[in-house]
C-alpha cells in the first residue's frame, strides 16, 4: 500500500504562506486505481509532487508522512529516495513535451531509467527499452529508439513517457492528467494501455484528472479535493450514482451533453478561495447554495458514513446533523437562456470558406532550399453562420488548427494559402492595410495552450488592454478598465488577478485570461482552438455558458476546434469532421453525431469515454 497520512504542504510565496495541502489522508493498494479529482488550484498536482518529494524550492511538507509498503519515504536521504522515485513509484507528467529532454534521443532516456532501477546493461537493456516501446504501441520501435522526441506526435510522446515510467518496474504509478492534451482516439488508446498494463503487472495507480468520464471508466475509488482538503471519498460506482457533497453534485451537473443543449449548464459560481487565509468554516460554503450561517462559522470534518466505505466533509452528513442545517435552502435551477438579440441575423452566412488549401514548404540542406511542400489542408470548404457554432473535429495532425490559423491571418509568409475565405463580402486572404486591421478586430482566436500565447512579462490587465488599445483606440481609460473588470468577472477571475503575471496562475486560470483577451474587442467570429481542453468541468461549464450568452446577445459565431464530443453535442449547430487535411463529413450536429455516415466519424464517436452513473 502507498499511504499518505495527514500531510500538510506549505509554499512560501510573495502573498504569504500558501497552505496548498491541509491534512490529506489517502491510500492506494496494488492493483487498484484511485482517482483524485477537483478544480484547478485545489492541490491535486501538489499532492503528486509531495509524495514524490519533488516540491518546488519554496515548498515543504510540514506535517504527516508518506509510506510505500510501510517505508517512510519522507525520512529517507535524497540518495535513497532516488531508488524509490521511479523504482517503487513512477510518475507520468501532464505535458510530455516538457518532461522529455529535447536534446537526448528517446533510447538514451529509456536507458537512463533502466540503468537506474534494474540490473540490466548493454544489449539486454536496449532490448528491454525497445520491448517497452513496442508494448505501449510505438510503431517501428527499433527505429524510434534512435529518434528525438520532437519527431513524434503528442500521443506518441505520451506513450514514450509511459514506457519510461514502466521500464523502472515500479509498484505504483502517479499519472497527472496523462490524457489531457490528447485527442479522443489517442486518449482511448492510452487509457486502454494503462488498464492493460495495470492488470498485467498489478500496479497501483493514482490518476489525477478533471475528466469525470475518464474517471468513471478507469477508477475503482474516487477522492474529491477542494481547497487543499479531501471532501469526499467513495467507490466510483457510489460517487457517480449518488454523490453526497454539494460540490460533487455541482460538478456532475456541470457536464455538457446533447440533452442540455439550449440550456445553461449548472456552473459553480466563483473560484477556489486563496489558500493563504485561515478558514473559520467550510471552505466550499461561499459557493454552496445549501450553506447556512453554521457552515460559514464551523469547519466540518471528513466523517465516515455508516454502512459504507465512503466519507464526506459536509455538515449535511455529520454524525449528528446540526439543527441549523435543516434550514438549508435547496439548490436553485439554472436561469433560462436569454432570447436571441433583435437584429442578430442568426443563420445568415458570416464566413464562407471555399477550397482552402494550406501548404508548408519542406526545406533541406545547409541553405535550406525548398525541395517540396506538405499539404496540411487540402481543399476544405465550409460555412460559418451568424450566431451559430461550427465544430471542427478530428484527430491530432488532421489540419484543424492550421485551418483556424489561416482564417485569422496567422500564416501569411509562413505557408502558401489558396482558396477563399469571404467574410462580410471581403476575401480575408487578399486584405491589406486598414482593411486587414478591421478584419483582425472582427476575427479573434483563443489558442489551445495559454502558457505559450500569453506574454510572461505582461500583467493580466496589460494583456487585456493590449488588444483594446490597438483595435479600439477610441475607448478612454475608464471605459477600458470597466470592460476589463467585467470580462475578468465573466470568466471567473478575481479582481486581484489583474495585477498578476501569467506564471502565477494555474493552467485553467491562464486559459480564462486567454478567453477574456479574445472577447475584449467584441469580435464577430472567434476561432476557438480547444479552449476548454485544459479546464476542469466546473470552469468549463462557466466558459461554455459565457460563450453561449455572448453568442445569443451579440450574434457571435464560433469556429470551435475540439476533440471533446460532449462539448460538440452541447454547443455546436453544425459539425465538420476532418481527416488528413480534408473534410470527410459535415452537417447538422444532431445528424452527424447520431447517424454518422463515415466509418472515421463513427470511430471518433466510439472513442469518447462515457460517464457511467
CATH no. for residue 582? 3.40.50.300
Task: Please answer whether residues 592 and 585 qualify as being in contact, where contact means their C-beta atoms are separated by less than 8 angstroms.
Answer: yes
Non-local CB neighbours of 481 within 8 Å, separated by 6+ positions? none
By CB neighbour count within 10 A (0-12 exposed, 13-18 middle, 19+ buried), where does 241 fall?
exposed
Domain boundary among 327, 342, 376: 327
* pLDDT score at 113: 92
pLDDT tens digits for range 384-426: 999 999 999 988 778 888 999 999 988 888 888 999 999 988 9
**Residue 235 domain flag:** no
DSSP helix/strand/coil, 91: strand
Q: Rounded to whole angstroms, how far apart are CA atoms 167 and 590? A: 45
* Same domain as 396, residue 299: no
Q: How far is CA 95 from the centre of its chain?
A: 11
Helices 106-117, 122-135: crossing angle, 10 deg rounding: 110
**Residue 279 domain flag:** yes
By CB neighbour count within 10 A (0-12 exposed, 13-18 middle, 19+ buried), where does 534 fall?
buried
* Same domain as 554, residue 474: yes
By CB neighbour count within 10 A (0-12 exposed, 13-18 middle, 19+ buried), where does 549 fall?
middle
By CB neighbour count within 10 A (0-12 exposed, 13-18 middle, 19+ buried), where does 379 fall?
middle
**Residue 543 domain flag:** yes
* Same domain as 508, residue 391: yes
* pLDDT score at 345: 57
* pLDDT score at 587: 93
**Residue 591 domain flag:** yes
**Residue 612 domain flag:** no
Cell for 380? 476544405
* Same domain as 448, residue 305: no
**Residue 270 domain flag:** yes
Q: Which domain holds residue 96?
A: 89-169
Nearest Cα to 529, choosing from 574, 567, 581, 502?
567
Q: How far is CA 170 from the centre of its chain?
A: 27
Task: Please answer whether residues 512 and 493 qualify as being in contact, where contact means their C-beta atoms are separated by less than 8 angstroms.
Answer: yes
Domain boundary among 169, 202, 223: 169
Task: Please answer whether residues 38 and 537 qualify as being in contact, where contact means their C-beta atoms are separated by less than 8 angstroms.
Answer: no
Q: How far is CA 57 from the centre of its chain?
A: 26
Q: Rounded to whole angstroms, how far apart are CA atoms 129 and 74? A: 30
**Residue 284 domain flag:** yes
Please count the structural domains in the chain.
3
pLDDT tens digits for range 534-587: 677 777 887 788 788 878 877 889 999 987 788 888 889 999 999 989 999 999
* Same domain as 462, residue 598: yes
Give me the sheet containing 369-385, strands edge to edge.
369-385, 349-364, 416-423, 426-427
* Same domain as 432, residue 549: yes
* Same domain as 308, residue 410: no
Q: Which residues of the chain have pLDDT under 70?
A: 154, 180-183, 321-346, 507-508, 534, 612-613
* pLDDT score at 326: 46
Nearest Cα to 15, choosing from 400, 407, 504?
504
Nearest Cα to 532, choosing from 254, 190, 264?
254
* Same domain as 389, residue 321: no
* pLDDT score at 323: 46
- State phi, psi for 449 to the nearest 5 degrees: -105, 100
Q: Could you count the other beta carbons within 10 Å of the beta carbon of residue 510?
A: 22
* pLDDT score at 373: 80
Non-local CB neighbours of 290 within 8 Å, separated by 6+ positions? 246, 316, 328, 329, 330, 331
Calculated CA dihedral for residues 364, 370, 372, 376, nearest 10 degrees: 100
DSSP helix/strand/coil, 441: helix
**Residue 308 domain flag:** yes
What Å distances lie between residue 104 and 115, 170, 178, 278, CA to CA? Answer: 16, 23, 22, 46
Tell me 608's DSSP state: S
* Same domain as 450, residue 532: yes
* Same domain as 407, residue 302: no
* Same domain as 436, residue 309: no
Domain boundary among 169, 202, 234: 169
What Å distances lie between residue 62 and 22, 98, 196, 276, CA to CA? Answer: 10, 29, 37, 15
* Same domain as 405, residue 285: no
Helices 477-490, 507-519: crossing angle, 10 deg rounding: 130
Amino acid at each position: 500500500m502507498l499511504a499518505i497520512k495527514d500531510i500538510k504542504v506549505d509554499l512560501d510565496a510573495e502573498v504569504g504562506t500558501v497552505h496548498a495541502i491541509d491534512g490529506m489522508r489517502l491510500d492506494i493498494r496494488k492493483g487498484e486505481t484511485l482517482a483524485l479529482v477537483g478544480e484547478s488550484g485545489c492541490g491535486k498536482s501538489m499532492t503528486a509532487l509531495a509524495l514524490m518529494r519533488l516540491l518546488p524550492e519554496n515548498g515543504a511538507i510540514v506535517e504527516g508522512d508518506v509510506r510505500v509498503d510501510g517505508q517512510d519515504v519522507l525520512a529517507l536521504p535524497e540518495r535513497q529516495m532516488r531508488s524509490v522515485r521511479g523504482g517503487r513509484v513512477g510518475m507520468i507528467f501532464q505535458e510530455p513535451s516538457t518532461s522529455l529532454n529535447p536534446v537526448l534521443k528517446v533510447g538514451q532516456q529509456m536507458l537512463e531509467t533502466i540503468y537506474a532501477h534494474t540490473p540490466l546493461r548493454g544489449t539486454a537493456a536496449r532490448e528491454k527499452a525497445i520491448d517497452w516501446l513496442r508494448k505501449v504501441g510505438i510503431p517501428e520501435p527499433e527505429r524510434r529508439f534512435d529518434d528525438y522526441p520532437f519527431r513524434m506526435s503528442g500521443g506518441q510522446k505520451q506513450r514514450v513517457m509511459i514506457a519510461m515510467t514502466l521500464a523502472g518496474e515500479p509498484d505504483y504509478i502517479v499519472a497527472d492528467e496523462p490524457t489531457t492534451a490528447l485527442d479522443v482516439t489517442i486518449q482511448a488508446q492510452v487509457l486502454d494501455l494503462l488498464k492493460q498494463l495495470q492488470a498485467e503487472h498489478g500496479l497501483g495507480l493514482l490518476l489525477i484528472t478533471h475528466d469525470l468520464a475518464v474517471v468513471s471508466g478507469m477508477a475503482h475509488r474516487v477522492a474529491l479535493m477542494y481547497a487543499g482538503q479531501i471532501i469526499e471519498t467513495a467507490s466510483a460506482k457510489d460517487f457517480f450514482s449518488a454523490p453526497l457533497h454539494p460540490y460533487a453534485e455541482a460538478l456532475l451537473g456541470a457536464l455538457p451533453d446533447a440533452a442540455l443543449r439550449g440550456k445553461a449548464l449548472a456552473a459553480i459560481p466563483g473560484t477556489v478561495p486563496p489558500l493563504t487565509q485561515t478558514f473559520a468554516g467550510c471552505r466550499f460554503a461561499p459557493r454552496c447554495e445549501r450553506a447556512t450561517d453554521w457552515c460559514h462559522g464551523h469547519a466540518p470534518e471528513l466523517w465516515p458514513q455508516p454502512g459504507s466505505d465512503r466519507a464526506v466533509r459536509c455538515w449535511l452528513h455529520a454524525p449528528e446533523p446540526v439543527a441549523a442545517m435543516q434550514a438549508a435552502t435547496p439548490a436553485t435551477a439554472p436561469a433560462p437562456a436569454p432570447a436571441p438579440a433583435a437584429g442578430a441575423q442568426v443563420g445568415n452566412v458570416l464566413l464562407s470558406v471555399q477550397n482552402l488549401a494550406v501548404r508548408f514548404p519542406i526545406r533541406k540542406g545547409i541553405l535550406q532550399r525548398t525541395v517540396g511542400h506538405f499539404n496540411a489542408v487540402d481543399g476544405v470548404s465550409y460555412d460559418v453562420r451568424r450566431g451559430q457554432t461550427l465544430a471542427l473535429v478530428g484527430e491530432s495532425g488532421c489540419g484543424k488548427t492550421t485551418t483556424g490559423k489561416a482564417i485569422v491571418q496567422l500564416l501569411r509568409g509562413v505557408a502558401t494559402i489558396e482558396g477563399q475565405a469571404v467574410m462580410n463580402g471581403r476575401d480575408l486572404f487578399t486584405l491589406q492595410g486598414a482593411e486587414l486591421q478591421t478584419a483582425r478586430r472582427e476575427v479573434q482566436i483563443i489558442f489551445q495552450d495559454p502558457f505559450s500565447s500569453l506574454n510572461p512579462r505582461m500583467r493580466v490587465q496589460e494583456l487585456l488592454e493590449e488588444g483594446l488599445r490597438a483595435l479600439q483606440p477610441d475607448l478612454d481609460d475608464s471605459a477600458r478598465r470597466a470592460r476589463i473588470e467585467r470580462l475578468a468577472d465573466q470568466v471567473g477571475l478575481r479582481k486581484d488577478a489583474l495585477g498578476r503575471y501569467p506564471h502565477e496562475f494555474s493552467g485553467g486560470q491562464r486559459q480564462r485570461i486567454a478567453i477574456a483577451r479574445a472577447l475584449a474587442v467584441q469580435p464577430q467570429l472567434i476561432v476557438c482552438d480547444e479552449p476548454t481542453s485544459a479546464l476542469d468541468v466546473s470552469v468549463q461549464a462557466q466558459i461554455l455558458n459565457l460563450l453561449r450568452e455572448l453568442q445569443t446577445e451579440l450574434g457571435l459565431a464560433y469556429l470551435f476546434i475540439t476533440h471533446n464530443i460532449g462539448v460538440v453535442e452541447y454547443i455546436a449547430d453544425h459539425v465538420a469532421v476532418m481527416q488528413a487535411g480534408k473534410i470527410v463529413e459535415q452537417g447538422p450536429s444532431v445528424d452527424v453525431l447520431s447517424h454518422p455516415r463515415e466509418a472515421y466519424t463513427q470511430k471518433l464517436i466510439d472513442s469518447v469515454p462515457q460517464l457511467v452513473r
